[in-house]
Amino acid sequence: MNNELLLVAFLAFACGYVFKAITFGFKTFSVTGNFVQKMGHQVMVLLGTAVYKMSYADQLCAIALEKMDNPEEAKKIRLDCQEQFETWKKEAVKTYEENYPENYKWQLKFDDWSGLMDELTDIYKEKKV
């Protein structure tokens, strides 16, 4: 009878330990996912702010270029600035996606700049940050 009681006690302990490990793992994954998502939102806000500031600087540059004596050179400079800005936006989205933790990539709802800005609009509307 003692052996059976020891076996039952051991099995109860093992089941409790496995249940605790599964529950703890799920809770940790959930909390970490929440953290990753909130930090991702903060990065998107930072990107949005950077774009706003860069657009403002671009407008100032456009005004200065309009006042140049050589309109052909001004147009060339403006097109070059726009091309660099578009390249930066593509690289920003690519880097964001590549560095997002693999286990949480299901949280990403975009794959291009337009989608990122739509997601950022939703974040602002829902006041997630």
pLDDT at 87: 92
pLDDT at 78: 81
pLDDT at position 94 over 90: yes
Q: What is the DSSP letter of 111?
A: S
Residues contacting residue 14 through CB under 8 Å, at least 6 positions apart? none
Residue 55: in which H helix or E strand, if any?
A: helix 2-66
Residue 34 token pair: 């929440």
Comparing 24 with 83, the larger pLDDT belongs to: 83
Asked whether residue 47 is domain-assigned, the answer is yes
Q: How far apart are CA 98 and CA 106, in angstroms?
A: 13
For residue 97, give its domain range: 38-126
pLDDT at 91: 93
pLDDT at 129: 57
pLDDT tens digits for 4-57?
Answer: 888 888 888 888 888 888 887 777 777 888 888 888 889 989 988 888 888 888
Asked whether residue 109 is domain-assigned, the answer is yes
Asked whether residue 50 is domain-assigned, the answer is yes
Structural domain total, the chain: 1
pLDDT at 95: 92
pLDDT at 107: 87
Asked whether residue 45 is domain-assigned, the answer is yes
pLDDT at position 66 over 70: yes
Average pLDDT over residues 53-77: 80
Asked whether residue 25 is domain-assigned, the answer is no
